[in-house]
Amino acid sequence: MTKQNVVPVEAVAAIAVAAVAGSSPLFPYPPPRAYGRRKYLSQLELGGGRIGAWVESMKASSPTHAKATAAPPSGDAAVDEQSAWVVRHPSALNKFEQIMSASKGKQIVMFMDYDGTLSPIVDDPDSAFMSDAMREAVRDVARYFPTAIVSGRCLDKVINFVRLADLYYAGSHGMDIKGPTRPRHAKARAKPVLFQPASEFLPMIDAVYKALFERTKSTPGARVENNKFCVSVHFRCVDEKSWSSLFEQVRSVLKAYPKLRLTQGRKVLEIRPTIKWDKGKALEFLLESLGFADCKNIMPVYIGDDRTDEDAFKVLRDRGQGFGILVSKFPKETNATYSLQEPSEASAHGPLLGALSYLQCDITRVKDFLVRLVEWKRLSRKACSKVQVA
């Protein structure tokens, strides 16, 4: 498929910059804070020779790592760290009334990641199904607010998982964007949405996928997934002792492709084009496509759990408009304003079951937030109707 840009990437960026000029934050944004070894390597380090540091980074980006799944550490220091983090990133459910108060008179626009946000993280990427209750919650949200799913999965896969027609979808970390045929919420000046800024990389991505598929066969548990505009190498089922060799296999293939870059997520290595495009750019593009780029009376909300979602959180922070919600069970560096978590439930189940309850509980909190948002909107409409009748 040829490029089908609604507007050039450079134009989208320029529009976003113009939109934030003179704006002031709706929420206090404290500077992000690093937590010990829970930090990620930069792209330069990923391409370098620090294998040991890379493996440590793989652990840091994998909150369900064996050492991390044990009950939260005891002691005053651990409690203080957790408490301080929650103060900086309070629960979006606990602060719901404050959030809705700040949204008064503004158009809420919803953005959500898929894996780990709308569906649980599972060993088999093809089995990451969302529950019927979650699908109903997302469907209801889309009835009242412009709603987009922004995922690292390829566009077709995430659409097949969600199976809702009225949504905007951004696959491959925003490099493959498609809108509904008949948008419900877009403004009159909105443009048709079909956007693939990295289409020229398709043959290269396909070649890398085939090479990695063959190269990683010797690593038990490794799984290579072709997400059209990026390649994902899952190591969730790989023995930790083999992580170094798996990284070497990936890096050896990428040496022949300088136009591709290596990034990381939750127990996954991802190979993407070097273009300046990510989930944050996708968010800006979708706001422009919806006709909201120059609007001051909008409140974009982005919910995500992955390192790649930080690009979108940062865009909202820099715009001073809207906010990010991090789905996480552990304190970690983030540009999000709020969080959705339930740390108190893990210790009651032991290390393994505690970790599983953490994952499911995070997902449940996302659903609870969406259900509450819809109920708030319905009540607001009823109140307005009564005022008009009176």
Residues annotated as catalytic (active site), given as ranges: 113
Name the residue with tokens 């009651």.
348
Please, are residues 193 and 140 in contact by the beta-carbon 8 Å criterion? no
Yes or no: say if 225 and 232 are a contact pair by the CB < 8 Å rule. Answer: yes
DSSP letter at 35? B
Distance CA 285, CA 196 (A): 11
What are the C-alpha distances in Å from 69 to residues 64, 197, 219, 346?
A: 6, 38, 24, 9
* Structure token digits, residue 314: 């940062």
Alpha helices (runs of H) in the chain, residue ranges in sequence order:
9-20, 43-46, 51-60, 76-88, 96-102, 132-144, 155-162, 202-215, 243-254, 279-289, 310-319, 351-389
CA–CA separation, 377 and 276 (whole Å): 36
Strand 338-340 to 176-178 pairing: unpaired
Structural tokens at position 362: 């995070």
How far apart CA 271 and CA 40 sit, in angstroms, is 16
